[in-house]
Structure 1
Amino acid sequence: MILNSLSLCYHNKLILAPMVRVGTLPMRLLALDYGADIVYCEELIDLKMIQCKRVVNEVLSTVDFVAPDDRVVFRTCEREQNRVVFQM
């Protein structure tokens, strides 16, 4: 069987399930530290994301999506690359 290397395979994986107000970057990284293979971010609204500006945060080594009111709507980092599910 050939698998697409860009898709997530859920077979025999430990997954941090989607939870309300618990899918922030610190929780996702903690779950990865404790052995999770796949983590979910909190569910975000498409209109909110389309208004965001993508900002590289050099201090935290993250990529932030910042709303017009300067609130970080979504934050990710290299450690969770290919292992985070973005829910919109």
Structure 2
Amino acid sequence: MATPIFTAPDPQELIDAVDATHSALIKVRALLCMTYGNSGEAFRSMSGEYQDSFLWAISDLVDNAVAGFETVCEARDRAASPATSN
């Protein structure tokens, strides 16, 4: 009879994913602070090309944060799904 085996997520994988997510979100927060209020004047005075590049960089950082979060979720799901052993 097969016995379910629960496997713990790799701690280093989780640490790396959380670090990558945190790093990307800190950068996004800093960049977005430059787009509104008094700080936003500099952003709004940039050419359209620079504004597009700025927002593209933010988009890439958000993608990195999402990827890190998904890695954590996948590790959680793997740990919650028992493997079977005979």
TM-score w.r.t. the length of structure 1 is 0.23
Q: Which structure: greater strand fraction?
A: 1
Task: Point out which structure has higher relative CO (alpha carbons under 8 A, 6+ apart).
Answer: 2
